[in-house]
Amino acid sequence: MRNFFRFIIKHHFFFLFLLLEIVSFALIINYNSYQRASWISSSNKLSGSIYNSYSNVTQYLMLQKINEELAKENSYLRSQLPTSFKDSKDYFSLVYDSLNKRQYTYRNAKVINNSTNKHFNYITLNKGYLNGIRKEMGVISAKGVVGIVKDVSDHYTSVISILNTRLHISAKLKESGFFGSLNWDGKDYRYAWLNEIPIHAPVDVGNLVVTSGYSSIFPEGVLIGTVEEVDKDKGESFFRIKVKLSVDFKDLSYVEVISNNMKEEQSKLENNND
């Protein structure tokens, strides 16, 4: 403290000069309209620039939280879609219980590991059994189908990606309704192939390819991609259709896991046929 006072006394002329400068500057601004207007304009620009920079920094730091909130909101909104409920034509049903008739439930999750450069690609999610995720649930993103749940631990989930040559998904052409099997050939991560579409089916480049709804995993009409090319070999009865996938698997952050609440009932009935 003694050194501080010595410093003040030693440089008291400088501090007095600085104080007088500040007082003079304040008097000039207060009693001259032009200088006051210039000062206010400059200070507004400076403060505006500072606030804008601060806002950009805080928004950047909040991006992860915002993305998580949006993923939760998307899951909730998908659960409210009419396609998430089982239609009932029962004339004896007097009360429409939406809770009991909900067929599909959506749970959001974050991708924490992903591969695209192998023949058998898998995705890891940050949620698992304790979050209600089970084997053979469908996985989608905001842009379309991602894959199917393969294994589940308490806190994590392993998903078999569309980019896995072992995975086949029941898909159809949205415009015509003709359905077949979609499979990745292990080459370009942007494309898959739709097979078993008969040659008399109307197919055009740009047609939408969606889930058929013929499995208990995905609801009908979830986007998979668009028709890129249509091949027909001589003597063959089916087209071989190249599909550009709607999901960019190299830019995948958040997904939704689909639970079919009537899957067990459907599977049990279909197993009796087998």
Domains of the chain: 2-61 (no CATH), 69-89+99-266 (2.40.10.340)
Quick one: residue 186, left, alpha or beta (phi over 0 = left, psi -120 to 50 = alpha)?
left
What pLDDT score was predicted for residue 17? Answer: 77
Q: Can you list the alpha helix ranges (DSSP code H) found in the chain?
A: 2-10, 12-31, 33-61, 63-80, 263-273
What pLDDT score was predicted for residue 215? Answer: 86
As to burial, measured by CB atoms within 10 angstroms (0-12 exposed, 13-18 middle, 19+ buried), residue 247 is: buried
Q: Please give the single-letter amino acid code of residue 172.
A: K
What pLDDT score was predicted for residue 66? Answer: 62
What pLDDT score was predicted for residue 91? Answer: 37
Please list the rounded mean pLDDT of every run of 10 residues in the chain (274 residues): 73 77 73 63 56 58 64 62 50 41 85 92 94 94 94 94 96 95 96 94 95 91 95 83 95 91 81 74
- pTM of the prediction? 0.66
